[in-house]
Each structure stands twice: as structure tokens, then as C-alpha cells.
Amino acid sequence: MPVPPTAPRRANETVREALRRELLAATAPLTALELSGLVGIAHRQVDEHLEHLRRTQQHRDEELVVEPARCLGCGFEFRARDRLARPSRCPECRSERIDPPRFRIVAGRSR
């Protein structure tokens, strides 16, 4: 089934609210590309909004969970990476075949 190019965002819902809703509703972690299609914004804008969501979540009982990007060449995982954007090249084997990071939001977690 083809994905519509610009998914409808609910009226009076901001991009970040839409992102948060998709991340909470997702049954499996989502890539930035998938999120860009779901919310109807450019791929490169997603990382910026995710960074902001992560900072503001300290006020809520929610956590943005990041499954790290992984090199498809050697399996290296970008665990220590602080930025959320997809890395361009593996530091171990120099491969550019990188499986992008995936995101979801876990709510109501007791910490």
C-alpha cells in the first residue's frame, strides 16, 4: 500500500506533538525517515525535533528510547553517539552502509 506523501496532521497539533503521538503509538521503533513520512515533514527536520523532544521530556514521565545506528558492514554500533542523526560512515570499517537509529517513546515508566 503506497504511503501518502504528506500524511495529514491533526488541526492545531504542532509538529512535535504529532511526532510524540506517533512515537507513543508505534508498535515498533521508527526511523527518522519513517517519522518524516508519518508527520509530513522533511527527513532532515526530524532529528532537530527529536532533540527538542528529548530535552523537554524531563518534565514528563516519558523517555525517548534510541536504538543506536549500526554498521551493516561490520556490525559496529554507534552507542556512544550523542547526536540523533544518522552517522554517515563507520569509524571501524569505513563502510557507508549504516542502518539508521530507531526511536520510540516509553511512557509511564517507573524510574
Binding site residues, Zn ion, CB under 5 A? 71, 73-74, 76, 90, 92-93, 95
61 or 92: whose CB is closer to Zn ion?
A: 92
Residue 78 Cβ vs Zn ion, minimum distance, rounded to whole Å: 10
3-class DSSP state of 98: strand
Please, which residue, 39 or 90, has the CB nearer to Zn ion?
90
Q: Which residues contact 14 (CB under 8 A, 6 or more apart)?
A: none
Between residues 34 and 78, which has the closer beta carbon with respect to Zn ion? 78
**Minimum separation from the CB atom of position 96 to Zn ion (A):** 9
User: Which of 72/107 has CB closer to Zn ion?
Assistant: 72
Contacts of 100 (CB under 8 A, 6+ apart): 31, 32, 33, 69, 86
- Nearest CA to 101 out of 89, 88, 84 is that of 84
Least distance in Å: CB of 84 to Zn ion?
A: 20
Helix locations, the chain, DSSP H:
15-25, 32-39, 43-56
**Minimum separation from the CB atom of position 77 to Zn ion (A):** 10
* Residue indicated by cell numbers 500500500: 1
